[in-house]
Amino acid sequence: MDCFSRATLGRAVLGRTTLGLVGTALLISPLAISGALAQPKESVQTDAGALSIEPVVDGLVHPWGMAFLPDGRLLVTERAGRLRILDKNDSLSDPVEGVPEVYNQGQGGLFDVALHPDFDTNQQVYLSFADPGKDGATTALGRGRLVDDRLEDFEVLFRMEPRVEHENHFGGRIVFTDDDTLYLTLAERFQFAPAQDPTNHLGTIVHLNHDGTAADDNPFVGQDDGRDGIWSYGHRNIESAALHPDTNELWVAEMGPLGGDELNRPEAGKNYGWPEVSWGKHYSGEDIPDPTEDGEFAGSIKHWTPVISPSGMIFYTGDTLSEWQGSMLIGGLSEQGLVRVELDGDEVTHEMSIPLGARIRDVEQGPDGLVYVTTDEENGSIIRLRPLDDDGN
C-alpha cells in the first residue's frame, strides 16, 4: 500500500486529520492538493519567518534522491531509473548514461544518490535501487565514477537477501559516516515476520565499508544468529535517515502502518519490534500491541499518529535559516510538507509542521544554505525554500 493510501485509510480508521493538510489549506491555499504549484512563487509562515516556496524545475517523474556536487550542480534520481543533473542555471540534463537497470514497479525503482566523501579525488557516486532478478526484486547498493557527466565502471556492492516477489517496501537511504563506512536503510518488503530474524536482511539497517563489505564493529560479525552487515533489525520501512552533525550518530524516521511512524536513533544489535509491536494498527484495523518498557524491544524517541509518511531527512547546519540551525528536517509524503524537529539529546523539545502542498520525498541543504525538496509526483518538482524580507521579497 502506498503512503498516501495508508494515510487516507489511517485517518478513516482513527478519525483524525493531519496537521499538514490543515496547515496547507490555511496557509497556502493557492497550492493544489496534487502538489502542482499554482503560482511561480508562494510563501509559507514558519517560526523562522516567512519563506518563499520557489519552484526550481519540474518535469521530473517521481524524483527520489538528491546530492549536490562540489561545483554546485545537483544530482537527482527519478524512480523510473534515470539520474539527471540540474545545472546552476536550473536547467535539467538528459538522463545520465551508465545507470543500472532497475525494477520499476510499485514502489521499486531508482532511489537514493550520494557522493563518496572523497568525491573530489575519486568521482564516486553511490546509488541505491530495486534490483530485478528471476526470483524477485531486492534493494541493492552500487557505485560508479562520474566522468564527463556519465557514470563509468558501475558495480553492485551489496544486495539485500532474500529477493522477494513483491512491489512494496524497499527502504533505500544512503548515509556516509566519518569513519569510512556507510549505512543503508532497508525494509521488510511487506513480509512482516522476517523482520524479526536477523539471519536475513529484511527489516534491517546495514552498516558497510565503502566497498560493500560488513563493517568490523557490527554486532553480528562472526556469529551464526545474524548477518555480518546488519546494524539493527525489527524495522518496517525506512526512507528517512541522517547523521547527527555533533554526535555522528545515525537517526532515522520509519514508516509505521496505520499510525505509528517512528523517530529512532538505531543502536547496534537492537530489535525495534516490527511486526510484534507498533504504535499503529494493521491495515485491517486489527490492533498491534504497543511497545512496552520491558527491554525486549528498543523504544522509539517519538511516534506520529496520524502518520507523516517520512521520506528524506537532514540536520540543518546553515546560516541562512539561523532559527533552524541544528534542527532535523523530515520530508513528509502524507504530511505534504516538512516536519521540523528540535532535539535535546534524545528528547524532542519542539516540533513544527511546514506545509508545502505536495508529497515531499527528499530534503537537502544546498551550498547556498537554502533548503531544497523534491515532490513525489508524475510531474515532480524540485522546490527551494528562501527567507522573505520584511517587504515580502
- What is the secondary structure of 221-278 as a DSSP string? TT-TTS-TTEEEE---BEEEEEE-TTT--EEEEE--SBS-EEEE---TT-B--TTT--
Give the chain's end-to-end CA distance (angstroms, integer). 41
Kindly list the distances between the CA atom of residue 93 and the CA atoms of 70, 154, 248, 354, 364, in Å, as whole numbers in the listed order.
17, 20, 34, 30, 19
Tell me the C-alpha distance between 201 and 228, whole Å.
Answer: 10
Q: Is residue 25 helix, strand or coil?
A: helix
Cα separation, 262 vs 256, whole angstroms: 7
CA 32, 36, 41, 42 dihedral sign is: positive
Handedness of CA 245, 246, 252, 253 (dihedral sign): negative
Largest CA distance in the chain: 65
Dist. CA 20–CA 45, nearest whole Å: 13
Q: Cα–Cα distance between 1 and 257 in angstroms, integer?
A: 9
- Which of these, 256, 246, 304, lies nearest to 278 by C-alpha position? 256
Going by C-alpha positions, the residue among 16, 98, 30, 95 that lies closest to residue 61 is 95
Residue for cell digits 565514477? 145
What is the phi/psi pair of residue 225, to 5°?
Answer: -95, 10
Which of the residues are catalytic? 169
Query: What's the CA gap between 235 and 108, in Å, rounded?
Result: 18
